[in-house]
Amino acid sequence: MLIWKLIWLLLSVCHLCNAFSDYLLKKCDQSGFCQRNRHYASQIDSSKSYYAIDEGTLHWNDTVLSATIIKTVKGNPIARLPFTLTYFQNLDSLRFTIDEIREIDESSFIIDTNRYNETWKWSFEKLPQSDTLTVKKIKSNAFSWFKTVQNIITIENSNNDLKIELSMDSFHLDIYHNSEKVISVNEKSLLNIEHYRTPELNEENVNVEESIFNMFHDNFQYSRDDSMPLGPESVGLDFKLYNFNSVYGIPEHADSLRLKDTRNSDPYRLFNVDVFEYNINSTMPTYGSIPLMISTNTRNESIGLFWNNAADTWIDIKYEDKDTLTHWYSENGIIDVVLLFGSKPTDIISQYVELTGKPALPLISSIGYHQCRWNYNDELDVLNVENGLDSMGIPFDFIWLDLEYTDDKKFFTWKLDSFGNPLRLLKKLNQLGRNLVVLIDPHLKDNYFVSDLLKTKSVEVKNYLNQTFVGHCWPGDSIWIDTLSQFGQSVWFELFKNFTSSFVSNNLFNLHFWNDMNEPSIFNGPETTAPKDLIHDGREERSIHNLYGLTVHEATYASIKELYHSMKRPFILTRSFFAGSQRTAATWTGDNVASWDYLKVSIPMVLTNNIAGMPFIGADVAGFVGNPSNELIIRWYQAGIWYPFFRAHAHIDSMRREPYLLDNSTRNIVRETIQLRYSLLPTFYTAFYESSSSGSPIAKPMVFQYNNYEEFYDIDDQFYIGDFGLLIKPITDEGATTTTIYFPPGIFYDLKSMKSFQVEEHAQRIEVPAPVEKVPAFIEGGHIITKRERSRRSTKPMTNDPYTLVIAPGLANNAQGKLYVDDGESFDYQNGESIETIFTLSNGEVLTNNVVHGHSLRSETLGNLKIEKIIIGLTQQNGDLLKDFVNINSNGEEYQIPVHKNAEGTMAFIKDPLVSIDENWEISFN
Ligand code: NOJ
């Protein structure tokens, strides 16, 4: 008990340390199943296999192939493992599962003893339709260099673009996409299903290549109490990716975008944990897990590997010449794998979100600036910060209340001597056009009306003896809501109902929620989290650990959506996430540090979530822990405005640094930077809309835009915004005044000055100026972006402002851009209340607006739809083409408007062209 108290103390005062105490987390060789699977991988001869399909069990109907895999140990058949394979219709993908038939006397167990096979119910949005399969048996004696292959089955989908060869004698899948072999499954014979056995009979249940390390007990210092009721249960499998030698994804790690070879390090680990001041450039786990790996190559082929398992998981990666070998192993559950195929890497993301759900279209206000701190102390403090920002002309939309607004850290209460009248505060903020976010964590102080209710209803997480689990978190002794259970979700709803009722009855919908610490963080728990033998709705924590956070934020989202009568889209921030979290929440990169290194690593972290279907992410600006220098503050805001989620946050022990408190020159730069984000909100919002329809990244890595340039495969310090050709390189080095950017061939315009330059033929590194007041940002020729240039206090008043189009002509004087507009807050867009329009510049001669959705819709709620200015970037090619006037054809009328040029000759303007975005029109330049 003393040791727990010490750890707790250490975690609570950890702000005094400089880095995460990583001895609290297991290394691979301290984790039973990680050590065993790695050991097995080092011992097994890949020509050998203990797993074969029992031919007699092979069965297929139109859409599912099933069979039983028999595992042998020392020559004896020892376990029966049901295998299924399906193709998903309309998704270029296939799914296979391997489970285990267990015959266990359930009466001596509190938990369900079957392997947990319902992760998909949380991660998939719905089960997609299965495609028809064509199955052929080929009895052959083909001879490959290392083994005789007999009994192969081929399985094809209805389009004939996917083919699988399933070898029955040594379970093995060769997968062909468009006739090319792209993946082999179990190529290295690392399939390992640790089947159920008792300790007494263990010896006859292990093969010689296996290690028996920590099979029935855990000797890691902080998890010795794990009762491990079912003994060793891990599942492991290897995949060989042919002609793919860069892999990406599997957030969240504070590491490079391109995943590293793990031969000389620990594997990447997916295990949601609270890692205050996490280590950077590390494979250690952090707060969230998305087990999706994506790869692409210069042949324009892309693949995705989705390992649909929410247990503690480790992933090894070996780059081998042209190919990649990757080995995945999870502590328990089943093997449930979806393989996705496409040409562009973004095809993989769109299929993945088709399966796991599209990212929610957020409130437009929530993509503005968020001002947070642990803590704003009372109502007056909140209003002073509001006023401080406002009086200095700094736009913002959300202000946040962290932990201390509660009465003694009891969620669903207010500290009444500081927030005596929450209704008054909400009303005031509403009048000012601001939103408020409050923290509600899943840990609930023991012994107050909320935790009492949980216990009465029996919806708290239980310990392995099925008694209330009590652990330590912010309030001291706490219990945890069990949102895995439907009943738990309904109790959670009731709590929110009571908490929000006075606001809702006053038509106030400007209160939003932050689910923090939902890994869950447990200060006296093993590895800073929950003991693996806790029980959620009859299932072990071990099986669902990585999806617990998702169950919490989904229940929060569903509650608020219902309570707000769908009048406003809920905004929920979650710290922990899993595949599917994108449907209902935004996230952030957790407890970073105010240092240059953390600023740098925030970029690949944000990019990685963006390619894993969960784009609404940011990092705390300008670092959570510590006191950043003015230069770091400036550079962090200059990076932060490009994070999809843009929030400043600071630790309770750090100095106040709200932008209005900064010295004049720092403040001016920060203000201008935030204003730049606001001016680009029409473009950002369109990128969010695109993402909500196809999962496309909002912050997009170079290689995801151009997989044809190998030079970009490693680049993770510059990126694009959506499909808008906005190329950004935040400055992350102290004292830098220039930076080098890797450009693809084309023409590029400085976002601010519109000065252009050409990049010939190959991708090239070019040095560009980056004095402290400048964030290097360019528009790639060929794009049109939309802005609202008048500076306002928040998003609300901006809706009355007209738009500005910025045209960046490409080399042939063509350009295109898209704009999406809706009311920015309700669900009416789902009933078609929106405008989607495409601007096209053809040969520098004609600019057209083509309304693809919502033509002639003139709803008040869509705001001002007029265009007040059109800016055209001038180049050597188009400068002379422009005449002094343009001819406009709009609404059946024809008229002329003058063209002006700036003194530098970098851009031309057309002011007040009398056109709007919801009408088709044409402007001729000659
Ligand atoms: C941990 C979160 O990561 C941090 O952002 C927050 O300020 C503290 N919890 C206090 O609630």
Distance CA 201, CA 854 (A): 69
Instruction: Encode pLDDT of 680-730 as tens digits.
Output: 999 999 999 999 999 999 999 999 999 999 999 999 999 999 999 999 999
Q: Please state the φ and ψ torsions of residue 546, each to the nearest 5 degrees.
A: -75, -10
Dist. CA 610 → ligand 1 center (Å): 23
Closest C-alpha to ligand 1, atom 10 = 403
Look up tokens 């528009």; give the residue.
Answer: 779
Q: How far is CA 101 from CA 104, 533, 657, in A?
A: 9, 22, 58
Ligand 1 atom at shortest distance from the alpha carbon of 372: 7
Ligand 1 atom at shortest distance from the alpha carbon of 590: 3
Tokens of 369: 């600036």
pLDDT tier for residue 169 given thresholds of 50, 70 and 90: confident
Dist. CA 589 → ligand 1 center (Å): 11
Dist. CA 516 → ligand 1 center (Å): 7
Whether the CB of 516 sits within 6 Å of ligand 1: yes
Dist. CA 306 → ligand 1 center (Å): 30
Dist. CA 494 → ligand 1 center (Å): 25
Dist. CA 198 → ligand 1 center (Å): 42
pLDDT score recorded for residue 92: 87
| Domain 31-242+302-342 and domain 367-690 have a common topology | no
CATH superfamily label, 737-924: Golgi alpha-mannosidase II (2.60.40.1180)
pLDDT score recorded for residue 859: 67
Dist. CA 893 → ligand 1 center (Å): 58
Q: Are 816 and 842 in contact (CB under 8 A)?
A: no
Whether the CB of 374 sits within 6 Å of ligand 1: yes
Instruction: Encode pLDDT of 319-373 as tens digits.
Output: 999 999 999 999 999 999 999 999 999 999 999 999 999 999 999 999 999 999 9
Lowest mean pLDDT among 97-111, 172-186, 866-880: 866-880
Q: Does residue 540 have an active-site annotation?
A: no
Tokens of 187: 């190529």
Whether the CB of 591 sits within 6 Å of ligand 1: yes
pLDDT score recorded for residue 858: 58
More confident residue, 141 or 243: 243
Whether the CB of 650 sits within 6 Å of ligand 1: no
Catalytic residue chosen out of the listed positions 519, 540, 658, 868: 519
Look up tokens 């920060």; give the residue.
Answer: 670
Angle, to 10 degrees, between the axis of helix 486-505 and the axis of helix 548-563? 40
Whether the CB of 590 sits within 6 Å of ligand 1: yes
pLDDT at 520 over 90: yes
The b/e string for 381-391 (b: 16+ C-beta within 10 A; e otherwise) is bbbebbebbbe
In angstroms, how far is CA 448 from the centroid of its own chain? Answer: 35
Whether the CB of 441 sits within 6 Å of ligand 1: no
Q: Alpha helix (H) ranges present in 333-399? A: 345-356, 379-391
Q: Are strands 907-916 and 572-574 parallel, antiparallel or unpaired?
A: unpaired
Ligand 1 atom at shortest distance from the alpha carbon of 624: 5
pLDDT tier for residue 926 given thresholds of 50, 70 and 90: confident
Whether the CB of 404 sits within 6 Å of ligand 1: no
First-to-final CA distance of the chain = 82
Q: Are 161 and 14 in contact (CB under 8 A)?
A: no
Q: Is the previous residue joined to 141 through a cis bond, with omega within 30 degrees of 0?
A: no
Whether the CB of 403 sits within 6 Å of ligand 1: yes
CATH numeric code, 367-690 = 3.20.20.80
pLDDT score recorded for residue 131: 85
pLDDT tier for residue 20 given thresholds of 50, 70 and 90: confident
Ligand 1 atom at shortest distance from the alpha carbon of 649: 5
**Backbone CA torsion sign across 601, 607, 613, 615:** positive
pLDDT tier for residue 209 given thresholds of 50, 70 and 90: very high
Whether the CB of 402 sits within 6 Å of ligand 1: yes
Read off the pTM.
Answer: 0.96
pLDDT at 779 over 60: yes
Helix (H) or strand (E) holding 555: helix 548-563
Q: Are 70 and 82 in contact (CB under 8 A)?
A: no
- Residue 324 exposed, middle or buried by CB count within 10 Å (0-12, 13-18, 19+): buried
Dist. CA 383 → ligand 1 center (Å): 22
Whether the CB of 519 sits within 6 Å of ligand 1: no
Dist. CA 287 → ligand 1 center (Å): 12
pLDDT score recorded for residue 104: 93
Instruction: Encode pLDDT of 502-516 as tens digits.
Output: 999 999 999 999 999
> For the sheet containing 907-916, what is the strand order?
893-898, 885-890, 921-924, 846-853, 835-842, 815-821, 783-787, 803-808, 866-873, 907-916, 900-901
% of the chain with per-residue pLDDT over 70: 96
pLDDT at 1 over 50: no
In the chain, domain spans:
31-242+302-342, 367-690, 737-924
Whether the CB of 213 sits within 6 Å of ligand 1: no
Could you tell which of 439, 518, 591, 617 is best to mutate to test the pocket of ligand 1, judged by most ligand atoms within 8 Å of the CB?
Answer: 591
Provide mean pLDDT across the span 278-304.
97
Catalytic residue chosen out of the listed positions 218, 266, 347, 591: 591
pLDDT score recorded for residue 891: 83
Could you tell which of 517, 528, 573, 621 is best to mutate to test the pocket of ligand 1, judged by most ligand atoms within 8 Å of the CB?
Answer: 517
pLDDT at 885 over 70: yes
Provide mean pLDDT across the span 14-43.
87
Q: Does residue 825 have an active-site annotation?
A: no
Assign a CATH topology to domain 31-242+302-342: Immunoglobulin-like (2.60.40)
Catalytic residue chosen out of the listed positions 516, 780, 868, 918: 516
Q: Round the average pLDDT of the chain to a whole number and report it.
A: 94
pLDDT score recorded for residue 157: 86
DSSP helix/strand/coil, 825: coil
pLDDT score recorded for residue 61: 86
Closest C-alpha to ligand 1, atom 7 = 374
Whether the CB of 541 sits within 6 Å of ligand 1: no
Provide mean pLDDT across the span 898-917.
94
Dist. CA 594 → ligand 1 center (Å): 15
pLDDT at 8 over 70: no
Distance CA 290, CA 547 (A): 10
More confident residue, 106 or 122: 122
Give the chain's count of helices (H) and strands (E): 16, 50
Q: Does residue 591 have an active-site annotation?
A: yes
Helix (H) or strand (E) holding 4: helix 2-12
Instruction: Encode pLDDT of 637-665 as tens digits.
Output: 999 999 999 999 999 999 999 999 999 99
Whether the CB of 362 sits within 6 Å of ligand 1: no
pLDDT score recorded for residue 159: 83
pLDDT score recorded for residue 855: 54
Longest Cα–Cα distance in the chain: 91
Dist. CA 517 → ligand 1 center (Å): 8
Could you tell which of 514, 516, 573, 593 is best to mutate to test the pocket of ligand 1, judged by most ligand atoms within 8 Å of the CB?
Answer: 516
3-state secondary structure 157-197: CCCCCEEEEEECCCCEEEEEECCEEEEEECCCCCCEECCCC
% of the chain with per-residue pLDDT over 90: 89
